[in-house]
Amino acid sequence: MPRVTVIGTGYLGLTHAVCLADLGHEVLAIDIDEDKIARAANGEALFFEPGLEPLLRKNLDAGRLRFTTSFAEVGAFGAVHFLCVGTPQGEGGGADLSFVNAAADALAPHLTAECLIVGKSTVPVGTARQVMSQVQAIAPASRQVDLAWNPEFLREGHAVQDSLTPDRIVVGVTSGRAEALLREVYARPLAGGVPLLVMDLETAELVKVAANAFLATKISFINAMAEVCEATGADVIPLAEALGYDARIGRRFLSPGLGFGGGCLPKDVRAFRATASALGVDSVVSLLTSVDAINQGRRDQVVALARDAAGATLDGTRVAVLGVAFKPNSDDVRDSPSLAVCDQLRAEGAIVSVHDPVAMPNAAKKRPDLVYARSVSEAAQGADLVLHLTEWSDYQAIDPAALARVVARPVIIDARCCLDAELWRAAGWTVRVLGRP
């Protein structure tokens, strides 16, 4: 079996390294962040991801997984190098490829024997070929260095399961040797029936951005329908349910509410729009401009509802915010819709207290001046308004009668459309739900 390295140990890279080790590979993972490497080597998952930490420890103990900060060690160790560094939003909305370029520059001088670099980061179409020439210009064994692109589709909160048993494995290759090596790396999931789709580099890069653009479009579509419901008194929940029964449409990614956030969909939509603009593909530019605008509009809509519920002004209103993670089962607050709503509330003079089961330490790094409560009831103490902004299952288990006793006014806005409104109303709450009468 080829020895494998993983470059970048963020949400994607650490999960990938742990799961490859669990598939039986010898894995060496590297990051430029020495603190992350020390903690991971010590068995600490670097972020909240169900099931990841036990698997990390198991594979450290088995000796299949190691961590380093030395690219020389990585170059000497691996026959397959997975590139998993970040591709955040750059100026003008396009992807910032500086981490990809820096990682390729750092690795290339140490490639002295036949090997395969496999990009997993989400990148604009054309990046793979550019990285290939960049590496081949520097690598001592340049003629023996091959490159493939193998986009990743894992979902935070389900990352381990998605990595071990993905819906499909997509690989963009330029040689039979690259395909054969990737078939070896993924032998176990392939033997378990996971489909392998082999294509050219450009198409593989595009599959990932197209998938994210489609998912974002689906969310913004149902949120646009929620706007129609808000204007007409119709109810978006049975509407979504009825649409979802149509096998051609499907129910998933059709949950109305506050819209998408996180480290992937928003920046991937904007990066794809920037690529389409550079290519002159106006249809994609206008589609994705609308998708993004609808999504941002949901944040404004929650604030408008809050203003209305507070009696025209938020100035001096005490607001308890439930949830700051961009989605449940994650501590990721990158482009968190909840934090954006908190910013708007505070800009209008509201006094905001927030709670989240796991994401408060990350939120505190970005918004150190927010008030963080240790429990839901502490956040809601004396509140005029409660906002449900991330759909953690903990919040669906809240006893509305008990919470009614600690607030100043029992008014809640459910921006994720998943609380049992009748139960809350029965306990004396005024309940407003995005997209529902």
Residue 247: Cβ-neighbour burial (10 angstroms; 0-12, 13-18, 19+): exposed
13 interacts with ligand NAD by CB under 6 A:
yes
108 belongs to the binding site for ligand NAD (CB under 6 A) = no
Choose which of 4, 5, 6, 9 interacts with ligand NAD (CB under 6 A): 9
Q: How far apart are CA 133 and CA 104, in angstroms?
A: 10
Closer to ligand NAD by Cβ: residue 25 or 327:
327
Residue of 19, 229, 264, 417 marked catalytic? 264
Residue 101 or 377: the one with the smaller Cβ distance to ligand NAD is 101
Strand spans (E) along 267-361: 318-322, 351-355
Our CB check for ligand NAD shows the closer of 185 and 209 to be 209
Per-residue x/- marks for ligand NAD, 140-169, CB under 6 A? ------------x-x-x-------------
Residue among 4, 5, 10, 321 that touches ligand NAD (CB under 6 A): 10
Say how many Å lie between the first and final Cα of the chain, rounded.
59
Q: Does 264 interact with ligand NAD (rule: CB under 6 A)?
A: yes
Which tokens is 413 given? 């806005």
How many residues bind ligand NAD (CB under 6 A)? The answer is 27
| Tokens 């939509």 -> residue | 269
Helices (H), 85-200: 98-107, 127-138, 159-164, 176-185, 187-191
Report the Cα 436 to chain-centroid distance in Å.
Answer: 27
Backbone angles phi, psi at 199, to 5 degrees: -150, -175
Q: Which is nearer to ligand NAD, 86 or 400 (CB)?
A: 86
Q: Which residue is nearest to ligand NAD (CB)?
A: 10
CB 30 within 8 A of CB 7: yes
Q: Is 17 in the site for ligand NAD (CB under 6 A)?
A: no
21-60 residues in contact with ligand NAD (CB under 6 A) are 30-33, 36
Site string for ligand NAD, 275-304 (x = CB under 6 A): ------------------------------
Active-site residue 342, yes or no? no
User: Is the Cβ of residue 59 or residue 127 nearer to ligand NAD in the bound state?
Assistant: 127
Taking the CA of residue 338 as centre, how many other CA atoms within 13 Å lie in the half-sphere pointing to its CB?
37
147 three-class SS: strand
Strand ranges inside 150-240, DSSP E = 169-172, 196-199
Element housing 66 (H / E)? strand 65-68
Question: Applying CB under 6 A, which residues contact ligand NAD?
Answer: 7-13, 30-33, 36, 84-87, 99, 102-103, 106, 121-122, 152, 154, 156, 263-264
Q: Which residues are catalytic?
A: 264
